[in-house]
Structure 1
Amino acid sequence: MSSHERVHSPATFVETTRVDPPFASTDIWRHHARIERRVIGQLLQTLLYEDVLSYTAAPNPADARAGATRFSLTLGSRRYQVDGWRCHSFQLIRLDHATLRVCKAQGDAESISLQRFMTDLEETVTDTAIQAGFVNELVQTLIKDTQSSACTGNSGAEPHALEADALENYFTDAHSYHPCYKSRLGFSLRDNWCYGPEFANPLNVFWLAVPAHLAQAGAVDGQKVAERALHEAGADVLARLEKYLERRQCLRDDVVLVPVHPWQWENALVHVLYPELASGEIAFLGEGNSVYTPQQSIRTLAPLERDKPYLKLALSITNTSSTRILARHTVTNGPIITQWLQQLVASDEVATSAGFVLLGEVAGAALDERAFPAARYNEIYGKVGAIWRQNISHFLDERERAVPFNGLSQFVRNAEGDPSTPFISPWIDRYGLETWVRQLIYVSTLPIIHLLFAEGVGMESHGQNIVVIHRDGWPTRVALKDFHDGVRFSTAHLARPELAPDLEPVPPRHAALNRNSFLVTDDVTAVRDYSCDAFFFIALGEMAIFLHRHFGFEEPRFWSITAEVVKQYQRDNPQHEERYRCFDIFAPEWEVEALTRRRLFGDDRPQVKSVPNPMAAYAPGGETSC
């Protein structure tokens, strides 16, 4: 195989060797105008929806479809106009970025410019200064997505033949709401090429030997972190480990092996850990043998060998305005929560008969910031952490395939890398639009509402945290993932409180910086809204809008089907009647996070928005109580 030859198999889609990243070529800039419109349009639609900007709206004379709207507003000295939709789903606003137009006050048209838009925005939003960091995130999103759009290497693949892990590289649209959807602050363009999921470049992780008193590790019953690490690291790393043990005169049980992302090692760790590296207390053991490709979340890596687990690593970059480190307490809690959830599912007839799949976080290891001097707390906190997650391939029968849920609302790309037809079109043609939609809603909704109603557990199951399992495009069930900081519950309202997990507490400094980062609460509404925000508002909401725009499937029909799935579950399981009132999914409104307002105005007070519930019209009746 030549150095530039690709591996084109259903299971993998990676380069065998890295080549120069596509940012020197002039061809990259042909995508710039389209991406700049998307960044501005995506920011604008959040500002409109989150009530930051005032606007006028009128029916779009060029589009007779329900909800088609022309939005107009004045920012600074310019007038902006864009076509879009006032959606039935949560009254969301979606804009057609290609239609964005801007004029001076005198009426002369101008070219679209992110820099001018931000200047106009700052002149308009006078009650707060727009942070330079936010502007940089937007600019970096524009640059990184332009670079990504120039990568057409996998556009020749038949996406429906790809395995789930390869589809993580194929689907490149990223977050459809957050304006900083691809900022990846900390990555240079070369880093983006090496470690961005769109480019599917293979990578090997590095390994550190850390004295046990400086680390914290844990695993589900029957597994040991040390055994997991030894299996993944390979012979070369183990040979260096033996020399380290001999030099330090210690046993293997005295040491924790921790994998680190190569970018993290080079950019965030050497200058932090140099005292321990220089003294030999912590040893760099080099590159491991296992080969990975990055998934959509970037810090989660998929192994090329399907018998191995996924590996989630601390990464000190910022994407969608969140720093992607891994806090020690969340790494520790991953296996604890996994064991608890899998115990609930395994002992539940509904869950077992429906084939619920939880991609368990079976082991984790991290530096313990408490073991270092207090002056080094911030530089150590969250910088070294790893979570091993079960591989989806272990749960599929020979006829089943899998696809990320958020990929269902994306497009197949042509040879130039531009979107052409919806990914799900062949499946809808085969099974019929409503038949297929009804089945998707059923299999994806069932585990979310069952864990909420039958157990009292809210799940942060947005489109990236759900994997749809199918046979020839027919959805059969879903797999849920990302539990270390992706569940919420009230112990008093659990169906089986005696099984409640004994979690590693949230450090006070972490809680002070991120008020939304908590697992346990006394507020049952917060538990309900946790599931509703992630699953109904984000995952299903995006799907409902996509189906309406590209297949003509009416949004009210989508939500009536969803409501009927919930009501049928409630009729079939009357034993949970009290919980149906407690966790009232049919409430008129839910609270969801206002992502852009939070970025603009900070976390001094919660940035949330009450949104109308599209299922409220189909409520079965009864009072909400708990």
Structure 2
Amino acid sequence: MSPSPSAEIRLARELAGVRPDLSAAYAAALPGARAAVLSRLWRALVHEPLPWTVRREPTREGLVLRLADGRRLHGPPADPYATTAYVTEVQLDGRAYDRAAELVTALGVPGGAAFAAELDDSTASLALSRADQPDSAPEPVTGWAWEQRVVDGHPYHPNCRSRPGFSVAEQLAYGPEHRPLVRLGLVPADDGVLRGEWPAWLWEGGRPLVPVHPWQTAHVLGGAAHDGPVAHPLLSLRTLALSDAGPHVKTAVSARLTSSVRDISVASVETALVVSEFAESVAARTDGLLRVTRTLGAFTAHSPDLAAVVRESPESCADPAAGERVVPVAALPATGLAASPAWLAAFTRLALTVGLRLLDLGVALEAHGQNLLVVLGPANEPLRLVYRDLADIRVSPARLARHGIKAPEVADRMVTDDETALRRKLFGSLVGGSLAATAGSAPALGAALEAVVRKLPATSDLAALREEPLPAKALTLMRLSPGRGGDLWTQLPNPLVRMPDPWDQ
């Protein structure tokens, strides 16, 4: 029996049938996509606590990883904050691999077969995303258009473009980087849980209508839906902007995109308004430096597969008449602004001021590049931050009480007084995520942090940021540990802490 063709080959065959004009560009994009995914995987192999890696040894040419079974992996030095594709091959006992999926297959580690399939899919999908980009385009003038400039997905996850269950035609029709318009479906619900105000266009004969992503209608709900409005898909694919400044609709897509299934839990709908109002009240304590996009309404038909959230657009947090615009942090590299050390330091100062202030109050944001946006002034100066999608914040009742703030009644998973958990949530997403990806390398991140941290209010959280390793989600370990729930973590070198050079000894 012959082996199944790789995702690269399967995608090429599908593409020839639906968009043959992209076939040549797809083939040309494959080497770069392989290097991009392999670079993310090599970062994980070097920096995550994988149980079958026993020792890491720097050499003059790069780095050697010694495995528990005696084999050796050899690759280049690994900057944990680099966003460029700098790894074109990794050697396993002298054999070179230029494809992440083939390397994981050769490693033969527990859980590796499923992860290798995801890496294969991620590589092929990334090549498709890169192939379908215009040679030139005017600078975006809307937030949703900026979101569609993010072509490569997650800057550090090897599954940056993994979309299992999506055909080529569906990726082209729904992926934000392909710049489509997506027609939402509307499904009547006889019963459900409603929080907040459900918009007038989402009612029919006294029954609420649930806006549904067309992929969900075709693959999960198994039935027809009424035609709804067209909308622009945003960074998360399942969240869409109804118009330039209109509300955003978060839909349920019960597929594993990157690493998580993107449905909407009943509990998150039940607490949506409480969390939104609480976050808005805490943001008001930042002297205008942070705005939270309010949840307007949330509904679930008692199912995570049939639910939706309607919230404010980040565009409402800017004043176009004053020359302001909103850009998601994930899109900042596309603006070129971070090439200026002074601009990067100003943005870092704003982000840390807000993040640490809220952490001291008792709220840890998951401020990665998708959830966090920045309002830029007419000279591109970072004025304030915008935060959206409150589903994964953490709340500390003890810290809130110290500031005379009553803890909200939210889901138990959101509540913790554990300082390590709170700092992991903020530092892992904001510093190791948003700021690192914007800077693009450890030296650039270190310079920006160094220019800022000494001028921030002294707190125990700031001391931890300055003196301890930086936490980061162990994204590859999580994908290789399917039986374990919750987040797994690793520690990355802190660019503020000078580590000894092994060749100086």
Query: What TM-score do the two structures reach when normalised by structure 1?
Result: 0.69
Structure 2 contact 118–162 (Cα < 8 Å) conserved: yes
1:357 to 267, 291, 298: 291
Structure 1 contact 45–95 (Cα < 8 Å) conserved: no
Q: Spell out the pairing of 1:153-168 with structure 2 (5 A cutoff).
A: 153=134, 155-159=135-139, 161-168=140-147
2:121 to 129, 140, 143: 140
Distance 1:542 1:103 in 2: 27
The 1:38–1:77 alpha-carbon spacing in structure 2 relative to 1, beyond 3 Å, is farther
Q: Deviations over 1:269-298 (max 9, x none)?
A: 127xxxxxxxxxxxx66011x321111111
Name the % identity.
23
Counterpart in 2 of 1:46? Answer: 44
2:336 to 409, 416, 424: 424
2:376 is the counterpart of 1:465: no
Counterpart in 1 of 2:422? Answer: 527
Structure 1 contact 78–120 (Cα < 8 Å) conserved: no
Structure 2 residue runs of 5 or longer lacking an equivalent are 1-16, 499-505
2:192 is the counterpart of 1:218: no
Q: Deviations over 1:480-515 (max 9, x none)?
A: 1111x2211122321456532222x46xxxxxxxxx
Q: Deviations over 1:429-452 (max 9, x none)?
A: xxxx33322211122222211211
1:405 to 314, 329, 335: 329
Q: Spell out the pairing of 1:293-332 with structure 2 (5 A cutoff).
A: 293-306=232-245, 308-332=246-270
Q: Spell out the pairing of 1:46-445 with structure 2 (5 A cutoff).
A: 46-52=44-50, 53=53, 54-59=55-60, 70-72=62-64, 81-86=74-79, 92=80, 94=82, 97-101=85-89, 112-122=98-108, 125=109, 129-153=110-134, 155-159=135-139, 161-212=140-191, 215-219=192-196, 224-225=197-198, 228=199, 230-231=200-201, 233=202, 241-242=204-205, 252=206, 255-270=207-222, 286-288=226-228, 290-306=229-245, 308-346=246-284, 348=285, 351=286, 353-368=287-302, 381-397=303-319, 398=321, 399-410=323-334, 423-424=335-336, 433-445=340-352
Partner amino acid, structure 2, of 1:287: D
Q: Report SS of the residue matched to 2:274.
A: helix
Q: Report SS of the residue matched to 1:441.
A: helix
Q: Report SS of the residue matched to 1:205.
A: strand
Structure 1 contact 594–608 (Cα < 8 Å) conserved: yes
Shift of 1:402: 1.8
Structure 1 contact 167–403 (Cα < 8 Å) conserved: yes
Q: Deviations over 1:140-175 (max 9, x none)?
A: 11121111111023x42123x432210111121211
Distance 2:142 2:253 in 1: 25
Distance 2:492 2:57 in 1: 20
The 1:588–1:99 alpha-carbon spacing in structure 2 relative to 1, beyond 3 Å, is closer
Distance 1:104 1:317 in 2: 33
Distance 2:83 2:270 in 1: 41
Shift of 1:321: 1.5
Shift of 1:315: 0.2
Distance 2:84 2:451 in 1: 27
Structure 1 contact 197–296 (Cα < 8 Å) conserved: yes
Partner amino acid, structure 2, of 1:474: E
2:496 is the counterpart of 1:601: no
How many pairs does the alignment contain? 473
Partner amino acid, structure 2, of 1:294: P
Structure 1 residue runs of 5 or longer lacking an equivalent are 1-18, 61-69, 87-91, 243-251, 272-283, 369-380, 411-422, 507-517, 571-576, 618-626
Distance 1:581 1:115 in 2: 39
2:437 is the counterpart of 1:451: no
2:495 is the counterpart of 1:557: no
Partner amino acid, structure 1, of 2:488: Q
Distance 2:421 2:126 in 1: 34
Counterpart in 2 of 1:588? Answer: 468
Shift of 1:537: 1.8
The 1:303–1:33 alpha-carbon spacing in structure 2 relative to 1, beyond 3 Å, is same
Cα RMSD, aligned residues only: 3.0
Bigger-Rg structure (1/2): 1
Partner amino acid, structure 2, of 1:534: S
Q: Report SS of the residue matched to 1:311.
A: strand
